[in-house]
Amino acid sequence: MIQGPDNSAPSNPAFLSTDFWGGSSKSWLCLVLLLAACLGFYSNIFNLIPRWEQREESQSPEAHHLQDQPDSLPLSQDKHTVVLHRLLLEKTEVRLVYPKAQVLQPTRTDVLVMTPWFAPIVWDGTFDSAILDAQFRNITIGMTIFAIKKYTVFLKLFLETAEKYFMVGHKVNYYVFTDRPADVPQVPLRQGRQVVVLEVRNYRRWQDVCMHRMEMISNFSRQRFLHEVDYLVCADVDMKFSDRVGVEILAPLFGTLHPGFYAADRGSFTYERRALSQAYIPRDEGDFYYAGAFFGGSVLEVHRLTAACHQAMMADWARGLEAVWHDESHLNRYLLYHKPSKVLSPEYLWDERMLRRPPYLRKLRYVAVPKNHAEIRNR
């Protein structure tokens, strides 16, 4: 190799570059790695800071919904942060304190509390109202009441007692079907509750009113109730509430044990026994006998039930048939083959004049009022 006068390496740029990188490559590599680590760290920090301009364009509908809530926290683009905020909010909203259930100490051993298809039968002592009220927050319950002809005389007592005992603390729409809107009384209502008068035609016979009740509930469920309420309770107006009836009754579909048949065998049930009828139930079939005076569920399920019953009644009518107990016969047929998800005990439907109260019936929640059927029904 040719050397310079001072025995140093020639001033060749290529040579200088090779010596530079070769002599200190490890130091430079460390610096590069350190710089990359710093950039990554600060990038993560900046990602935690809300980018407001981008958030307005890219925020999901769920985030918009949360932001609209007055007690929600500022949201970043991090989905995990959104979930965390929601969990924090939910955690601080509700605190439930109640006695622990004892697995080996059932609350009721004197009555059946579960059907063979695992639907609960609701009796006093089988539920905790505080837990259920928390689960059913922010819902609206609709109640259909038919006050045709002179049945309007029952409205005042019905509504007054309902305001005292029915779904206390929840929003309620009382849907009053009547041919006499002027006779609907003015009753003081709790906040979030209202009476909605639905004017309908009357019918010559009370049986025809019963038969067309299913049709009207079905039509209004599709046209209106689906958009206004979450659950629908269908009740007779010639009754009164005498104790608490709350969200423990709510389910996708519920029926109520008839007070006259809850302890009877199926051979005693007054099902429709004519095979030509759409309400026909053979003598070796049947779970319970359900009352037509108190049933309900989600609006969609009530619509399905009432539509099916109405279609069956129209098929019978075309053959010149009328089921023995009209809409109640068709209700029992439907609930036999479309099992209710909850069954209400006779606490939720009783007649003190006709029946002696047994000791296991701790409460009477919804009871018949005295009336002259001949005077009321066909006038």
Q: What is the pLDDT of residues 84-124, one digit of tens each?
A: 445 445 555 667 788 888 999 999 999 999 999 999 999 99
Which of 158, 134, 335 has the alpha carbon at shortest distance from 246? 134
- Beta bridge partners, 297, equal 232, 253
- Beta bridge partners, 199, equal 178
Which of 106, 137, 139, 140 has the alpha carbon at shortest distance from 123? 106
Which residues are annotated binding-site positions for UDP-N-acetyl-alpha-D-galactosamine?
146-148, 151, 236-238
Q: What pLDDT, on a 0 to 100 scale, did the predictor assign at position 342?
A: 98
Angle at 142 between CA 364 and CA 256, to 5 degrees: 35
Instruction: Give me the catalytic one of 248, 272, 328, 347.
Output: 328
Q: What pLDDT, on a 0 to 100 scale, did the predictor assign at position 47?
A: 46
List phi, psi (to 5°) of 115: -80, 165
Listed as own residue / partner, the contacts of 123-128 with beta carbons closer than 8 Å and 24 or more positions apart are 123/345, 123/347, 123/360, 123/362, 124/347, 124/362, 124/363, 125/362, 127/248, 128/98
Q: Measure the CA–CA gap between 195 and 289, rounded to whole angstroms.
A: 31
Which of 194, 193, 197 has the alpha carbon at shortest distance from 183? 197
List phi, psi (to 5°) of 191: -60, 135
Residue 363: domain span: 121-370
Q: Is residue 62 part of a domain?
A: no
Q: Is 322 a catalytic residue?
A: no
How many domains is the chain built from?
1
Sign of CA dihedral 62, 65, 69, 73: positive
Q: What pLDDT, on a 0 to 100 scale, did the predictor assign at position 14?
A: 40
Give the CATH number of the domain where residue 341 resides: 3.90.550.10
Which of 307, 116, 346 has the alpha carbon at shortest distance from 222? 307
Question: Helix H segments across the chain?
Answer: 13-47, 52-58, 61-68, 79-93, 129-135, 155-165, 206-220, 226-228, 299-318, 326-337, 373-377
List phi, psi (to 5°) of 255: -130, 165
Q: What pLDDT, on a 0 to 100 scale, did the predictor assign at position 30?
A: 58
Which residues are annotated binding-site positions?
146-148, 151, 236-238, 258, 270, 328, 351
Q: Is residue 104 part of a domain?
A: no
- Chain-centroid distance, C-alpha 264: 31
Contact 313, 366 (CB under 8 A): no
Q: Is residue 350 part of a domain?
A: yes
pLDDT in tens, the chain (379 residues): 444 444 444 444 343 344 434 445 556 655 656 665 555 544 544 444 443 333 333 343 433 333 344 333 343 344 444 444 454 455 556 677 888 889 999 999 999 999 999 999 999 999 999 999 999 999 999 999 999 989 999 999 999 999 999 999 999 999 999 999 999 999 999 999 999 999 998 877 767 777 789 999 999 999 999 999 999 999 999 999 999 999 999 999 999 999 999 999 999 999 999 999 999 999 999 999 999 999 999 999 999 999 999 999 999 999 999 999 999 999 999 999 999 999 999 999 999 998 999 999 999 999 999 877 666 655 5
Q: Is residue 99 part of a domain?
A: no
Q: Is residue 19 part of a domain?
A: no
Which residues are annotated binding-site positions for Mn(2+)?
236, 238
Give kind and range of the element (H or E) at residue 50: none
Q: Is residue 229 part of a domain?
A: yes
Q: Is residue 82 part of a domain?
A: no
Angle at 266 between CA 262 and CA 270, to 5 degrees: 80
Q: Is residue 100 part of a domain?
A: no
In one-letter notation, the amino acid at residue 76 is S
